[in-house]
């Protein structure tokens, strides 16, 4: 390991570290401070510097509600890998970057948006380190941090004269930094692919609908996440966001305290049950909700890969207790059903009865129904919106592979992320799993081929685009296969 030579950026020279043929830059500032008077304001570029900035230490994560039981920490650490850091800072708008060489090769650029909804997560952790993907696929990988939760999505326009959706604005500024600087690092600013899992996919579909993000990326991959809210078509009106604002004001009292209290304290303020931080509609950043925007052709020129995992809820429902009856399942589906087309128990009960009658163990059927409600059906709806609107192709996948030694994980939420990055040694639940390395190599190559020219390939062969006529879907297993409308009976159980 050695420090790299200094490279020029629009803010000043930066250096990083060199590992086994990859230059790794940890925490390059792409924005100025966002605390104090800048809290709840749109980000701005950092002040310029003249001495070389050593990007050699992982940046701290954004303030968030951190902490869990020792048992949960051990389990989720085994499934998702341990984080690099658990300390947070408000002034944390940095990006991590991996490149094979700072030359003129103009490689595809892959920008990773982390998961955790819009509340948790950090720009990278060992399983999401871009070094291996960069080295094996000859791509430049970038992972920006951004504001989360209350600090990223509280609508303070009326309260404090702030700006809306500053968490999304952070990502746009990071993409502008990439546009202006990535050629120095061996990347092609005209060939940028976003890829993200769970909340990262939510951020990507939101960016598709944001006018300010137009032209800053050229392809996108949404892994197990497509919409900002199960109960909204991709963006809340100020009126819909009002209960969250009231909950925050009830906790802090004087609105002025929103700029005075420590960021870590604000990040832990609870919201009313069933609600979560989401982008808010405004004239400047998100004038139209995501779903209507996609239907009207927003981002129609951007090829998409969309997909889910077969056992999404296996990990997410751990310790929460699955519904035991049709009525209990229907009640849960109502809470999750806004995106899936359910409007109340009348619509949810037939869906719950369908899954209960599938012949599987009821707990497994309920788990599948909840995963479909939160992930698979919304993903299919986005694919349908895009294919109906026309434009660039959409490619669909379904991950079915699992480590036979870990049925508690299955093809669970986030497994595909570990495979794409290929850092399986950092994920105990997948370490030494049969055929995992083989599948990881194929998935990384498919993602990178898509980043290169908009066509994902498996074993050198393109996988067919998703069309309403056949619903072609790449099924990730060993070996991978192409299926038409996998899980079709379940899909048809949901109202259009």
* Amino acid 343: pLDDT: 56
Model pLDDT, residue 342: 58
**pLDDT number for residue 20:** 87
What pLDDT is recorded for position 228? 62
At 346 the pLDDT is 63
Q: Profile the chain (496 residues) by mean pLDDT over runs of 10 residues.
A: 92 96 97 94 97 96 86 91 90 96 95 94 94 98 97 93 96 98 98 97 96 98 82 80 91 92 94 83 93 93 98 91 91 70 70 89 94 93 92 97 96 97 96 96 98 96 95 97 96 88
pLDDT for res 372: 94
Q: Give me the torsion for CA of 8, 11, 12, 13, rounded to 10°.
A: -50
Q: What is the dihedral of CA 203, 208, 210, 214, to 10 degrees?
A: 120
Give CA–CA dist 295/189, Å, rounded: 27
pLDDT tens-digit map of 41-85? 999 999 999 999 999 999 999 999 977 788 988 999 999 998 898
Residue 310: the pLDDT is 97
Which one, of 49, 44, 43, 42, lies nearest residue 9 by Cα?
Answer: 49
At residue 247, the pLDDT reads 92
Mode of pairing for the β-strands spanning 140-144 and 107-113: parallel
How high is the pLDDT of residue 232?
60
Residues 164/157, Cβ–Cβ less than 8 Å: yes
Three-state SS for the chain is CEECCCECCCCCCEECEEECCEEEEEEEECCCCCCHHHCCCCCCCCCCCCCCEECECCCCECCCCCCCCHHHHHHHHHHHCCCCCCCECCCCCEEEEEECCCCCCCEEEEEEECCCCCCCCCCCCHHHCCHHHHHHHCCEEEEECCCCHHHHHCCCHHHHCCCCCHHHHHHHHHHHHHHHHHHHHCEEEEEEEEEEECHHHHHHHHHHHCHHHCCCCCEEEEECCCCCCCCCCCCECHHHHHHHHHHHHHHHCCCCHHHHCCHHHHHCCCCCCCCCCCCECECCCECCCHHHHHHCCCCCCCCEEEEEECEHHHHHCCCCCCCCCHHHHHHHHHHHCCCCCCCCHHHHHHHHHHHHCCCCCHHHHHHHHHHHHHHHHHHHHHHHHHHHHCCCCEEEEEECCCCCCCCCCCCECCHHHHHHHCCHHHCCCCCCCCCHHHHHHHHHHHHHHHHHHCCCEECCEECCCCCCCCCEEEEECCCCEEEECCCHHHHHHCCC
Instruction: Tell me the catalytic residues.
Output: 198
Distance CA 186, CA 470 (A): 40
Residue-level pLDDT at 495: 84
Which pLDDT score, from 0 to 100, does residue 344 have? 57
In the chain, where the domains are located = 2-323+338-343+356-493
Q: CA dist 227 to 200, 224, 300, 387, Å?
A: 10, 10, 17, 17
For 347-389, write each residue's pLDDT tens digit: 789 999 999 998 778 999 999 999 999 999 999 999 999 999 8
Query: pTM for this structure?
Result: 0.96
pLDDT at site 240 = 87
User: Is 3.40.50.1820 the CATH classification of the domain at 2-323+338-343+356-493?
Assistant: yes
């Amino acid at each position: 390991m050695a420090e790299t030579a200094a490279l020029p950026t629009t803010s000043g020279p930066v250096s990083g570290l060199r590992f086994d043929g990859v230059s790794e830059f940890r925490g390059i500032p792409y924005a100025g401070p966002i605390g104090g008077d800048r809290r709840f304001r749109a980000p701005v570029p950092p002040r310029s510097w003249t001495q070389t900035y050593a990007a050699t230490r992982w940046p701290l994560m954004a303030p968030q509600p951190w902490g869990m039981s020792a048992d949960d920490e051990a389990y989720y650490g085994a499934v998702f890998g341990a984080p690099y850091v658990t300390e947070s800072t408000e002034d944390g708008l940095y990006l991590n970057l991996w490149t094979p060489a700072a030359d003129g090769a103009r490689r595809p650029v892959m920008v990773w948006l982390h998961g955790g909804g819009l509340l948790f997560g950090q720009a990278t952790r060992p399983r999401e380190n871009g070094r291996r993907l960069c080295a094996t696929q000859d791509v430049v990988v970038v992972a920006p941090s951004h504001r989360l939760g209350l600090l990223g999505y509280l609508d303070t326009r009326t309260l404090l004269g702030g700006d809306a959706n500053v968490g999304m604005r952070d990502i746009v500024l990071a993409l502008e930094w990439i546009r202006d600087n990535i050629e120095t690092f061996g990347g092609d600013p005209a060939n940028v692919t976003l890829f993200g899992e769970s909340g990262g996919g939510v951020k990507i579909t939101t960016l598709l609908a944001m006018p300010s993000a137009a032209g800053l990326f050229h392809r996108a991959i949404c892994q197990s996440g497509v919409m900002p809210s199960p109960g909204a078509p991709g963006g809340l009106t100020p009126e819909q966001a009002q209960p969250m604002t009231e909950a925050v004001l009830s906790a802090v009292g004087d609105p002025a305290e929103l700029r005075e209290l420590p960021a870590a304290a604000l990040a832990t303020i609870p919201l009313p049950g069933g609600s979560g931080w989401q982008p808010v509609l405004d004239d400047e950043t998100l004038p139209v909700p995501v779903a209507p925007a996609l239907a009207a052709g927003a981002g129609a020129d951007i090829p998409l890969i969309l997909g889910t995992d077969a056992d999404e809820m296996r990990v997410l429902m751990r310790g929460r207790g699955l519904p035991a009856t049709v009525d209990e399942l229907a009640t849960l589906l109502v809470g999750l059903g806004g995106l899936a087309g359910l409007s109340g128990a009348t619509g949810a009960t037939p869906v719950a009865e369908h899954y209960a009658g599938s012949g599987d163990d009821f707990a497994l059927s309920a788990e599948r129904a909840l995963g479909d409600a939160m992930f698979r059906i919304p993903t299919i709806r986005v694919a349908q919106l895009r294919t109906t609107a026309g434009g660039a192709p959409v490619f669909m996948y379904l991950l079915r592979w699992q480590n036979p030694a870990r049925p508690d994980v299955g093809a669970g939420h986030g497994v595909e992320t570990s495979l794409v990055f290929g850092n399986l040694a950092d994920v105990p639940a997948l370490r030494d799993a049969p055929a995992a390395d083989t599948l990881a190599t194929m998935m990384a190559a498919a993602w990178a081929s898509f980043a290169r020219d908009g066509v994902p390939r498996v074993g050198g062969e393109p996988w067919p685009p998703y069309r309403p006529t056949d619903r072609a879907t790449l099924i990730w297993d060993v070996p991978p296969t192409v299926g038409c409308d996998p899980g079709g009976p379940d899909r048809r159980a949901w109202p259009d």
